[in-house]
């Protein structure tokens, strides 16, 4: 079952509250999560410059969904919390192109903690990676 997080609301915070209520009714953990990744190492709207990045990447958070405000995102967004993503039965990372592959390899080998690295480190099971040139 696909569960969209989008609906009309006055603000991203209002949308977050409504989606939090809706998500509480779902069975957890999720069966499958499919992630993408940007060349800056962001995934799931966990942008490196997000105002609340520390909260987004807290693997012990009880929240299901967070609003995200980041200059690099271009617009406010919603995302599932890291805690909810990494408990899924299957987590896939799909990336396309040489630039994203290089960014991924840099993120996993770097001392600088990129958001995708936080997902890989916190995942309860290995994250399956899929790359297309």
CATH T-level assignment (fold) for domain 12-132: Rossmann fold (3.40.50)
Using pLDDT thresholds of 50, 70 and 90, give the confidence band for residue 56. Answer: very high
H or E stretch at 80: strand 77-80
| φ and ψ of 68, to 5 deg | -130, 125
Residue 8 is predicted with a pLDDT of 85
pLDDT at 82 > cutoff 90: yes
Distances (CA, A) of 23 to 66, 84, 125: 12, 11, 23
3-state secondary structure of 28: coil
Give CA separation, 102 vs 50, 94, 127, in Å: 22, 14, 17
pLDDT at 52 over 80: yes
Contact predicate 12/77, CB 8 Å: yes
Q: What percent of the chain has pLDDT over 70?
A: 100
Residues 100-119: pLDDT tens digits?
Answer: 999 999 999 877 789 999 99
CA distances (Å), 18 to each of 14, 52, 68, 70, in order? 6, 19, 15, 21
Q: pTM to 2 decimals? A: 0.91
CA distance 33 to 92: 6
């Amino acid at each position: 079952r696909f569960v969209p997080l989008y609906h009309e609301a006055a603000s991203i915070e209002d949308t977050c509250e409504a989606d939090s209520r809706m998500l509480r009714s779902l069975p957890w953990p999720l069966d499958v999560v499919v992630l993408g990744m940007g060349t800056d190492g962001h995934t799931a709207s966990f942008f490196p410059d997000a105002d609340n990045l520390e909260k987004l990447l807290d693997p012990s958070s009880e929240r299901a969904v967070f609003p995200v405000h980041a200059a690099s995102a271009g617009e406010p967004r919603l995302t599932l919390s890291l805690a909810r993503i990494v408990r899924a039965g299957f987590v896939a990372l799909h990336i396309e192109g040489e630039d994203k592959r290089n960014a991924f390899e840099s993120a996993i080998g770097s001392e600088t903690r990129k958001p995708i690295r936080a997902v890989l480190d916190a995942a309860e099971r290995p994250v399956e990676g899929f790359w297309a040139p």
